[in-house]
Each structure stands twice: as structure tokens, then as C-alpha cells.
A and B are shown apart, each in its own frame.
Chain A
């Protein structure tokens, strides 16, 4: 019988469907009064953890505890509640008003890992606001754990996992012992909706809060954003009157023929 503890890291980001704008000062993306929700890759991570738990329960080969953690200001708790409503067991909020960059988050997560001692840590491959794609890898380095990134399929074995990764050339399958780091890619699963019964249950699930400062970690930002700008506006299309006209324009104006 295996009893797994899975730690899932989540981040509250600007909602995927929102059209983002640069703020008036030109220093960052506008986030005031903009809809936020859980990073889509983290939703996939939460879903994966819950699926592992359900598979173990169904085959009666063990149990799993899904613990979600999020580092950020008070509003990060919204994201934790979403994860609890999907089916996670308990939540940890690492509270900080600072600008937390991937290295800082990785260090904070290392502190949480040392407290919780999970068998695997699941993160999204990247957050859709900074597209860094670093936290999982850095965490693995700090912990000296194996890492399986860009996972599109996961199979658990006895104290190990077999992961199919999406890489540039196609897919790559690797096997790593546990404990290990897993980062999720888009094709891993389709996250479930938060069902009403689970939303009701979520209210009673424990949500613990720690101040980032209390974890004894240096979270000072290492990178400074110098400039942020929108991409150049797309040139308008032109209407063509006939196919001959189209071919002429492709040849002489766009110069692609």
C-alpha cells in the first residue's frame, strides 16, 4: 500500500481570456481591475494530482493526499480555494506582498517541501504572465531531485514514475525515481470543473497560512524589468478584386511568390 503526498504549486495570474494591456506608466502589464484566475498549467497540475489520487483509490493500491500551495498576496487564496473545490485535500498559502520571481518561489517551495516531505511536486510548466518556465527546474536543482518537465503523460510505478515529455523533436519517455518534480504541459489532461458538492466540501478543508519572511528565505528579486511594450500593430489587410490581383500582390507587394 503506498501513501503518497503530492504537493501542487499554483499561481494566480491574469485570466487567460483577458486581453492584456501595458499600464499607463509603461512599466508592467495592467493588473488593476482585471479578471484573475488560476494559471491554466496549474489547473492541469491540480487535475493530475486528483486523478492520481482517484486512480489509487479505485485500484485500492494506496491513498494520496493532495496539498496545494501558492506564494503571493492575500488574493492568492482564491486560487487555493479553486483547487480545493476541484478536489484537493488541503491548502497552504505562503503570504508575501513582494514581487516574487521564479528563483524566490523555488526557494520558498523548497522550504515548504522540507516541511511537508511530499513524494512528488507538480508545477505548471510556466505561468502565462511571465512565461519563465524556470520554477520547476530551479526547485529540482535546489532539492537535488530528478525532474520530468513538459509532461503529456504520467504513469506511477513503485516509488518511480514514467513520464512522456513533449520536446521539440516529438515526444520523449523517461523514468525517474520518486521523489521528483513534474511540470505539466497542455496535453496532460483536461481539468475538471469545480462541482457543487466539492465546492461545499471545500469550505471545511484546512487552509494554512505562513508569512514568507518566517520561512527564512532570501526572496529579493534578481531581475529588473527595464521596458515593456505592446507588439507593433498589425497592418490592415487589403481587399482584392480578383484572383489575378491577389497573385499580383503576393508577387510584387508581399514578395512571397
Chain B
């Protein structure tokens, strides 16, 4: 009896362990063990064997291994074994896959070694050694990035922060939270919830992403509208520089004008200037009253009108203003993401989700009702619902947060994250569709099956998703560099919040001038002269 149990436990562990560990929490279905092991129609990326993903280096032949980097040798492994416990070192090829492949199943590296340090001192020793021996390194958080910035391209060593996950301190008068970089965002939010505070950022990947990764990518998310960006909410950082120096700037002070604000350089640097090991962040008070409304409208002009009014009539209580289009809701319904169902009776061309957060329920209810009454009266809105309890609030958000997952189930999805003036926000979707139709590449059985638009209206940030049968160079050529040229032509940013990684670094010139890029390269050369930190990414190839 014991042996039969053992062998079936091993079978389940083998089949599900590798895929499950790297599958973000919000993608995991309930009763995962049975579904993953025995389901006959498993969702594409949940059970896709990693062997199916092409190596990044093969898919993009313009990427060439920098041979000034040393190749990993037994001596190197012996050294790491001398400073880390065995469970902090991964060399098994099956286990390596979860660190080598990104969340989108689009990029696959060839790393032979993953290190999981448990302290800043260990990170310092690792980087010093790698710098001395010119071993390339990729810092990795929750591996939920969307531009291939957290996975290796060739045989870079992965330094995963998942073992550094302790909260160091919390000041419940000022709201300053100090923690390790490997803390998962949702875990931090739950910690703060018990103390009456919340994290100033929120994104769909919260169940898996690390705060260190959020900082290194300057993650935006659903509440940037209300709480601002990490450049404002981060009070201090602890960073290990490429040569092993530990830079301790972990302040909890709200105001400190003493010298160049170095931490700003590391926020959004995507691990190319050092490894973030500690974060000090200002947590706002958790609002007492939250309201969420879902609205359906016919035109994007109406979406804009609703947004303009919300700034007037909801202003200080407005905490999120998201939109998505008909294509997005159709996908969510088709793939029934997380049981999300559409509460509106008919399909609309555009949907808006508004969230308000305040300190007084009665005041907020009144403001929201007046605002919604006005929208209905002036026919800016065709239909809508207001959540009556927390469960309904979570369900409405589940629709918005389920869109990325629903998109990825539609096939191979090209994701673009661009910012531009709000009035032209949806034009990018319309122009892209027109271009694909013109090239006879749009529709059932064609190269591309749908074009979806959704995003943060308030921040002028569009997430443009173009779904294809698979990622091919032919498909890519139709949309890139067109989408970047379009964005540059509208004075926008080619990457509003996702960052550059390996996906967009060569398009940087569409958004930044030559002299700015030159100065960025000088910073990089100064801090990382051997170029070991996350190479082949972020800055354009020479």
C-alpha cells in the first residue's frame, strides 16, 4: 500500500511540480492536482511541455552570446556550494525550466544554474564572484514580466530572490514598510491589511510577483491613478552593486534632500545596474469605503467623457478607471476566466470599471450615485451595475484582471503596452486592425485572429493585444515596427509600464533621444563595467 501511494505521489509531483511552480497563482485552477494530472483538455500554457518553447537564441538569431562572459565550470559551482546551502542551488534540468521560461511561454533561456540566496551578504558574495570571473547574471523575482527581462537569453546564472521573503519592519504611524525584495506583493498586502494599510500598487500578477521585481520594473498597475508610481512611493532601497558593494539606502524618511537621489536610478532599471535586495515603501491607509461600478458604452468618446467627469465629480475618491473593448469581453466570456461572468445584459462596444476609495461610505455613495445619475441622464452610459458587497467587487475586478489570461488562451499573443494622449488612446487599436485587414492577415484562419484593447484610461495607457495562431517572424514583421512608429508619431511611449527587457530594447530610440540613450549607456558602464548584469536587454545592442 505504501509503495503504490509513493509511486502515484511521485507521478503527480513530476507532472505538476515544474509547471505549477511557475504558473502565477491567479492562473491556477482550484483542485489543481487533479486537473493538471488528469485533465484531457488542459489550458495551453498551463500544461504545455517546456520542450515546445523555442530557445530565445534560436528564435532571434540577431542575439549572439557575448563570449567575453565565462562559461560555467565545476569550480564555479563548487564556490557557490561553499556559500549557499544545497536547497538554494538548482542544477536539475527539469527544475531549471521554470526559471528559464517566461510567463508568456515566449522566451526560453539556457541557464544551467539557479541560485537562491537567503541574505544580502550572500547576494553580495555571488555578485562579487561573478564580476571577478565575468559570469553573466539574471536577477529574477516572480518571473511574471512581459518583456522577457527576467529570464536568461543564453547561459546566464539566474539569481532568484524567492528565499528572501521576510518583512523587516513596519511603522504603523507613518505607514513605512521595510521588507526583503523577494516578498510577494499579495502577501505584503495581506500583512498590511491586518494593520489597516495597503500596498500602493496592485496588478494582476500580485499572487506571484515580488516587490523587488515591481521596483526593478517600476510596475504601474491598477491604482497608479490614485497612489502614484513607485518613483514616489518607494522611500529607500538596499541594492547590491555588480562588484558586490552593498548600497544601504533603506531609509523610512518621507523627506530627505541630501544629495543625488540614487535609488531613482535603480527603480525601473530592470536588474541591469545591480540587484535590489531590500525595499522601503510608503503604504497608504486602507480605505474604509470601496465602491466599484461597471459601465457599458458605445463609443470611446463616451469613455473619455465619463473619465473627464469622474475627475470633476469623484476627484479625490477616484482610485481606478479601467476600460476594455468588445473583443476583450468576448474572450473573457469564451474562456470563462476564474468564473468571471458579465453582469450586463447585452454586449457593448466599451466597458469601464470605476473604483472609488474613501474614508466615509455615506459621502462616497452619494458622490458616486450623483455621478452615475448624471452619466445615465446625459446618455453617456448605456447600462451599468454597482457592486453591493465585497464578493461582487471582487467579481467585477476579476473580469478586468482576467483579460490578460483570456488573451493568452486565444493563441500566441503579441502584447504592446503604449502610452499616449488620452484622446487617441483607442485609435491605436483601430489603426492596427485596419492595417491587418488591408494585408489580408485578419480573421478566422488568417495570421491574426483578434485585436484587443484594454487598459488604464486615467494614465493614458493602452494594452494592445494582437492574437495570432503562433509567434512567427512573419506575424511579427506585420506589427513591428509599425506599432512603435505609430506610437512615436503620436508622441507616446513604446513601453508605458511593462519595460524593455529583451523584447523592446532595440526600439528604445522611438521614445528616447540619442543623447539620452548615450547617457544611460555611460551610467551602465560606470556601475557595471563588465556588463554582467542582465545582458542583451534594456539598452539597445551596439
Chain A residues proximal to chain B, CB less than 8 Å: 15-18, 33, 35, 37-38, 40, 43, 82, 85-86, 192-197, 199-200, 243-244, 246-247, 251, 257
CA distance in complex: A82, B361 (Å) = 14
B10/A192 in contact, CB under 8 A: no
B516 at the interface (CB under 8 A from A): no
Leading 4 A-B pairs by shortest Cβ distance = A37-B389, A193-B385, A17-B390, A196-B384
Q: Which residue of A lies closest to B343 (CB)?
A: A193
Question: Which of B1-9, B155-163, B275-283 binds A?
Answer: B1-9
**Of the residues A17, A33, A197, contact of B394 by C-beta under 8 Å:** A17
A247/B369 in contact, CB under 8 A: no
- Residue in A15, A18, A37, A199 with the greatest tally of chain B CB atoms within 10 Å: A199
A199/B288 in contact, CB under 8 A: no
Residues of B contacting A243 in the complex (Cβ-Cβ under 8 angstroms): 6, 9-10, 13
B389/A38 in contact, CB under 8 A: yes
B390/A194 in contact, CB under 8 A: no
- With A16-B391, A17-B394, A247-B5 as contacts: A192 and B343 at CB distance below 8 Å: yes
- With A196-B383, A197-B376, A199-B369 as contacts: A15 and B389 at CB distance below 8 Å: yes
- 5 sample A-B contacts, Cβ–Cβ < 8 Å, listed by A number: A192-B343, A196-B386, A197-B376, A243-B6, A246-B9
Query: B389-407: contact bitstring with A at CB < 8 Å (1 yes, 0 no)?
Result: 1111010000000000000
CA distance in complex: A53, B10 (Å) = 56
- With A243-B6, A247-B6 as contacts: A196 and B385 at CB distance below 8 Å: yes
Interface members, chain B 76-112 (any A CB < 8 Å): none
B457 at the interface (CB under 8 A from A): no
Residues of A contacting B1 in the complex (Cβ-Cβ under 8 angstroms): 257
B381 at the interface (CB under 8 A from A): yes
CA distance in complex: A37, B386 (Å) = 13
Count chain B residues whose beta carbon lies closer than 8 angstroms to a beta carbon of A: 28
B388/A37 in contact, CB under 8 A: yes
Query: B320-364: contact bitstring with A at CB < 8 Å (1 yes, 0 no)?
Result: 000000000000000000000001000000000000000000000
B127 at the interface (CB under 8 A from A): no
Residues of B contacting A244 in the complex (Cβ-Cβ under 8 angstroms): 6
**Of the residues A15, A33, A43, contact of B390 by C-beta under 8 Å:** A15
Q: How far is the CB of B313 from chain A (nearest CB, A)?
A: 15
B177 at the interface (CB under 8 A from A): no
CA distance in complex: A86, B369 (Å) = 15
B373/A193 in contact, CB under 8 A: no
CA distance in complex: A118, B343 (Å) = 31
B181 at the interface (CB under 8 A from A): no
CA distance in complex: A38, B389 (Å) = 8
- With A16-B391, A33-B288 as contacts: A194 and B386 at CB distance below 8 Å: yes
CA distance in complex: A246, B394 (Å) = 37
Residues of A contacting B394 in the complex (Cβ-Cβ under 8 angstroms): 17
B372 at the interface (CB under 8 A from A): yes
CA distance in complex: A244, B7 (Å) = 10
B2/A247 in contact, CB under 8 A: yes
Q: How far is the CB of A114 from chain B (nearest CB, A)?
A: 30
Interface members, chain B 1-51 (any A CB < 8 Å): 1-2, 5-6, 9-10, 13
- With A193-B385, A243-B10 as contacts: A200 and B391 at CB distance below 8 Å: no
B387 at the interface (CB under 8 A from A): yes
Residues of A contacting B388 in the complex (Cβ-Cβ under 8 angstroms): 37-38, 43, 82, 85-86, 193-194
Q: How far is the CB of A205 from chain B (nearest CB, A)?
A: 15
**Of the residues B5, B369, B381, B387, contact of A193 by C-beta under 8 Å:** B387
Q: Which residue of B lies closest to A18 (CB)?
A: B390
Q: How far is the CB of A255 from chain B (nearest CB, A)?
A: 14
CA distance in complex: A165, B96 (Å) = 53
B386/A199 in contact, CB under 8 A: yes
Residues of B contacting A33 in the complex (Cβ-Cβ under 8 angstroms): 288
**Of the residues B293, B384, B390, contact of A37 by C-beta under 8 Å:** B390
Residues of B contacting A38 in the complex (Cβ-Cβ under 8 angstroms): 388-389
Q: How far is the CB of A56 from chain B (nearest CB, A)?
A: 20
Q: Which residue of A lies closest to B196 (CB)?
A: A33
CA distance in complex: A200, B381 (Å) = 13
Residues of A contacting B373 in the complex (Cβ-Cβ under 8 angstroms): 200
**Of the residues B372, B387, B391, contact of A196 by C-beta under 8 Å:** B372
B9/A195 in contact, CB under 8 A: no
Q: Which residue of A lies closest to B392 (CB)?
A: A193
Residues of B contacting A192 in the complex (Cβ-Cβ under 8 angstroms): 343
CA distance in complex: A200, B369 (Å) = 8
Q: How far is the CB of A48 from chain B (nearest CB, A)?
A: 16
Residues of B contacting A246 in the complex (Cβ-Cβ under 8 angstroms): 9
Question: With A16-B389, A199-B372 given, can you name 18 additional A-B contacts, CB distance below 8 Å?
Answer: A15-B389, A15-B391, A17-B389, A17-B390, A17-B391, A17-B394, A35-B288, A35-B390, A43-B388, A85-B386, A86-B388, A193-B294, A194-B385, A196-B376, A197-B376, A200-B373, A243-B13, A247-B9
